Each structure stands twice: as C-alpha cells, then as structure tokens.
Amino acid sequence: MDLMDRTVVRCAEGHVFSTASFPMQHLDAGRLGPGRLIRCPRCARLRHAVPVVLQKG
C-alpha cells in the first residue's frame, strides 16, 4: 500500500468519506482496533471512524 493511498472511512454519525491520512493505519488492527478519531468533513467534529470495506461487482 502506497503511503499516499486514500482510505474510505465511515464516521460514528454514518458519514462516508475518503481521507489521505488514517492515523496508525499501519499498526495491527487486532491489537488497537480498526477505529480512529478523525475529523469528519460532513459534521466538522472529531468522530470515531472505521475503514469501509468496498464490495466489488
């Protein structure tokens, strides 16, 4: 994964957006959990966000 790849995330309010920085993305999700605090561009607040699994097809 390139460091400049964008990650699609969903905030606790249900807003879906992409971000160029998803803090601590490279660490083991099993140890820290998949969620991070990130500022949502829709509600403009720090929200818990998790990566969205995109389905192909």
Pairing mode, strands 7-11 and 46-51: antiparallel
Tokens representing 7 are 């990650």
The per-residue pLDDT for 32 is 57
The per-residue pLDDT for 23 is 60
Q: Where are the chain's structural domains?
A: 1-20+34-57
The per-residue pLDDT for 24 is 55
Taking only the tens place, the pLDDT of each residue in 6-55 is 888 999 999 999 988 666 555 544 455 677 888 899 999 999 888 888 77
pTM over 0.85: no
